[in-house]
Amino acid sequence: MSSSNTLGEFLRARRAQLVPDPASPSDRRRVPGLRREEIARSASISVDYYARIEQGRAGVVSDEVLQALVDALALSVEQRTHLFALARPRHVVPVTPGEGIAITGLRTLAELTAAPAMVVDRRYTIVVANTLLQILISPPDVVPSATSVPGSMAEFVFLDRRSSEVFADWPVAARGVLTRLRFQAARHPRDDALTELITDLHGRSRWFADHWSDPHMDGLWAESGSIVHPRWGTYRYNLLTLTSPAHEEYMVHAYVPSDAPAVEVAHHLRHAHLRRSSSSASHNRST
């Protein structure tokens, strides 16, 4: 996975989306969108230099030039972030002694959150799911536990048919996971495990393969959605993401209820959690 080629693909795809100025000369265009020279002129750089950027031959591109391209390509805030991530790929950061402490802290935060929540890494491996999320997304015929939730949210969404039953608006959830994976892949092109996951999803999920290079996916972070519980109904949520500045490898995703019915579902989840805790405590006292 080449970061420079990915940057070029992004620039070309975005260029093709832009509509030429009606006041510009009306000569026939063989391809949709703006030409390289039009982007270069708008960004105040030479056509040759812009071509080398698209081809991955420009070396390190300055922040000033990147910002000029943001303006020339009329990028959104999310697309700007993606552009800079593609141009500034990070190396894989080795595990540090404090990483276990960071995970423990995030796990505690997830457990204390009064909403379904999970800790994931940049590959969307579920490191821990709090009890409320276990109750919300576990199969209905299984006792909710740490082992009843998927090991990978990415694999669950794209490879497990049950995900379309869990997520009422599955395409929205899928776009959110894909967009985040693509963002992480741009930032960490030397993460072999991430590359292997993406390759596997390409080979096993037609939807993933069809949409991975779609420029319209940029900025579709899916900050809201719906999860269906077979007993208590639809849980509409806003997705809140928290990270540790020292360990950006890990994130807490909290599914915060977004309307009154969702608050009612959350109420049922908490009561189910309290019943489980009370039952467990009674069992421990009797043994």
What element of type H or E holds 89? none
Q: Residue 220: pLDDT above 80?
A: no
pLDDT, position 173 = 94
User: What are the C-alpha distances in Å from 106 to residues 111, 113, 122, 130?
Assistant: 9, 10, 14, 11
Residue 233: strand pairing partners = 229
In this prediction the pTM is: 0.66
Proportion of the chain above pLDDT 70, given as a percent: 78
Q: Does the domain at residues 99-286 carry the CATH identifier 3.40.50.2300?
A: no
Predicted confidence band of residue 88 (pLDDT cuts 50, 70, 90): confident
Please state the rounded mean pLDDT for residues 127-135.
91
**∠202-254-274 over CA atoms, to 5°?**
120
Q: What's the confidence (pLDDT) of residue 163?
A: 97
For helices 170-187 and 77-87, what crossing angle results, to 10°?
40
Indicate the domain borders of the chain: 3-87, 99-286
User: What are the distances in angstroms from CA 18 to CA 30, 34, 132, 269?
Assistant: 14, 6, 44, 47
Tokens 């467990």 sit on residue: 280
Q: What is the mean pLDDT of residues 161-166?
A: 96
Beta bridge partner(s), residue 120: 126, 251
Name residue 228's beta-bridge partners: 234
* Res 93: pLDDT: 40
Give per-residue pLDDT as tens, 23-63: 555 556 666 789 999 999 999 999 999 999 999 888 888 88
% of the chain beyond a pLDDT of 90: 44
Residue tagged 């969702």 (tokens): 262
- As a dihedral over the C-alpha atoms of residue 184, residue 185, residue 191, residue 196, rounded to 10 degrees, the angle is 120
Joined together, the tokens standing for residue 252 give: 């807490």
The distance of Cα 261 from the centroid of its chain, to the nearest Å, equals 26
**Superfamily in which the 3-87 domain is placed by CATH:** lambda repressor-like DNA-binding domains (1.10.260.40)
